[in-house]
A = this chain, B = another copy of it.
Amino acid sequence: MKFDVEIWFGDLDAFGHVNNVVYARFLETARVKFFMEKASKIEASFVLRRLEMDFLAPMFLDDVAEVEIWVGEIGTTSWEFLYSIKNKKTGEEVIKARTIQVWVDLESNQKRPIPDELRQILQSEKRG
């Protein structure tokens, strides 16, 4: 799944680069869009367990980020999302990222097996 995000003035820090924190926001948005588009019937009930980001190149005002998200490893209670962010102007990859999500009971905060309906969706979006 892919979507474009325009870089805004407010995304820049005092070096004039898109700030590292902003990319974490783009990844969060990708996760939410994934659920809204691919799994809208399933009530999202997961927590973020781990985030890894590699910063490969800077982006600047008026650039456009192409954010891509797909599924990596799928375990019993957790799965991987993988991400790539490209600068659409230059074609260059600017961010590679990976997150781990854990399916939980939101009341008790206990791990739960990924429900079958979600597992099938994740499986169909798995890559690499």
List residues of A whose CB falls within 8 A of some B CB: 8-10, 12-16, 19-21, 24-25, 28-29, 32, 36, 47-55, 58, 61-62, 109
Instruction: For the complex, give the distance between the alpha carbons of A24 and B53 in Å.
Output: 11
Name the B residues within 8 Å of A10 (CB-CB): 13, 19, 21, 25, 28-29
Complex CA–CA separation, A28 to B23 (angstroms): 13
Note all chain B residues with C-beta closer than 8 A to A25.
Answer: 8, 10, 21
Which residues of B are found within 8 Å of A52, using beta-carbon distances? Answer: 50-53
Question: A20 to B46, alpha carbons, bound, how many Å?
Answer: 13
Which residues of chain B have C-beta atoms less than 8 A from A15's C-beta?
A: 14
Cβ of A23 to closest chain B Cβ, rounded Å: 9
A50 to B52, CA, bound (A): 7
Q: Which of B14, B32, B53, B109 contacts A50 (CB 8 A)?
A: B53
